[in-house]
A = this chain, B = another copy of it.
Amino acid sequence: MARKRKKRVKQPGLPPGSLVYVGEAGAKPPLITVWDYDEAGLNEYQFTNVDDCVPFRNNQRVTWINVDGLTDVSIVEKLGVRYNLHPLVMEDILHTTQRPKIEEHDDFIYVVLRMIDFDSEKMQVGSEQVSFILTSENVLTFQESPGDVFGPVRDRLKGNKGRIRKLGPDYLLYALMDSLVDHYFFVLEKLGDKIEELEEHMLEQSAANLAHRLHELKRETIILRKSVWPLREAIGGLERLDTPLIKDSTKLFVRDMYDHTIQVIDTVESYRDLLAGMLEIYLASQSNRLNEVMKVLTIISTIFIPLTFIVGVYGMNFRNMPELEWSFGYPAVWIIMLMIAGGMVYFFRKKRWI
């Protein structure tokens, strides 16, 4: 998936509703995958020509049309025209920097979410926009690039596991969205592992670049946060929607998914708090270590600097220095110096420095 910050600005001079893809141009041509099923059976097709999808529109079976890659604007346009999509919806599908949201239109529901991924190596959260269109018989999904998190749904469709083949397109939409939300937990797991790892390293002394890694994690948390709050709004909106396109039995599942998004938010917020706390502790331990270093320096310096002065005194070459002539002069200086050193040590003990 792509890295987070994209140029969002439209080309100047274009009216709203202009169909221009703003993401990176993919190497491969877009691929259209069609899953056409009912309880009795399932057919899977792969097309590169959008016109091949026409027969599936009103065939009394549930049809899932998935478009991987949005570089060919005409695909979105043709599908849009066929499914009677509003020009602004088509624009939003292509402008892949949308905030997650849900829109109810006359004969379809448009949902846009962000599919995220976490690269443990680079510690980067990547994200990709996925658009869903739900009509009375079909679900259309648009992804920026191949590779997604819908594998489990495909397995269930193929294996006819659970209810998925028995229920309508609204349940398929739910299943796909749920799969996407579940992946947030997966990413949070990974992020949580990284945080725990850092937390353990914090206790070690040689944590030189800890602060930078903390910052990286924090930055990714900020990015995640920007995704998950609107996610909650979008899914909450879906739950509250009063439309025949979504059956009441499906609503229960949507509510369940909504609970999951709240859990995602709770977790992200906890991570934020944890990371903030860790940085504070890092600073505290830095300052603690500095104190320790300074104490060592101060103890050594304050003991030896006066002594060095004393031996300097008797290294002077004045002709008239009576102490130098005394036979007990040298041992006497040693005794004085030991007393001074002892006094210093006593002073530091009293201050609890050693």
Which residues of A does B touch, CB under 8 Å? Answer: 5, 7-10, 12-18, 86, 88, 92, 97-99, 101, 151-152, 155-156, 159, 161-164, 175, 178, 182, 185-186, 189, 192, 196, 203, 205-206, 208, 211-212, 214-215, 218-219, 222-223, 225-226, 230, 252-253, 256, 259, 262-263, 266-267, 270, 273-274, 277-291, 293-298, 300-302, 304-309, 311-321, 323-330, 333, 352-353
Contacts and interface: CB of A to CB of B under 8 A. Distances in A.
A235 to B, nearest CB: 14
Contacts of A313: 311
20 contacts: A8-B185, A10-B182, A14-B162, A15-B162, A15-B164, A15-B175, A98-B263, A214-B284, A215-B277, A219-B277, A223-B270, A226-B267, A290-B294, A291-B293, A304-B306, A304-B308, A311-B312, A315-B315, A317-B324, A319-B324
A280 B279 contact: yes
A293 B296 contact: no
B300 A306 contact: yes
A315 to B, nearest CB: 4
Contacts of A297: 294, 297-298, 301-302
Given A304-B305, A317-B317, A286 B281 contact: no
B13 A156 contact: yes
A335 B18 CA distance: 77
Contacts of A285: 211-212
Given A222-B273, A230-B266, 15 more contacts: A7-B189, A13-B159, A14-B156, A14-B161, A99-B262, A222-B270, A293-B298, A297-B301, A304-B306, A304-B308, A311-B315, A314-B316, A318-B329, A318-B333, A320-B328
Copies of this chain per assembly: 5
A42 to B, nearest CB: 15
Contacts of A290: 287, 290-291, 294
A327 to B, nearest CB: 5
Contact of A101 (B196, B259, B281, B284): B259
Nearest to A218: B277
A55 to B, nearest CB: 29
Contact of A294 (B281, B293, B300, B324): B293
A324 B318 contact: yes
A291 B296 contact: no
A259 to B, nearest CB: 6
Given A15-B163, A223-B270, A211 B312 contact: no
Nearest to A302: B300
A283 B274 contact: no
Nearest to A267: B226
B294 A284 contact: no
A226 to B, nearest CB: 5
B189 A99 contact: no
Contacts of A318: 314, 323-324, 329-330, 333
A160 to B, nearest CB: 10
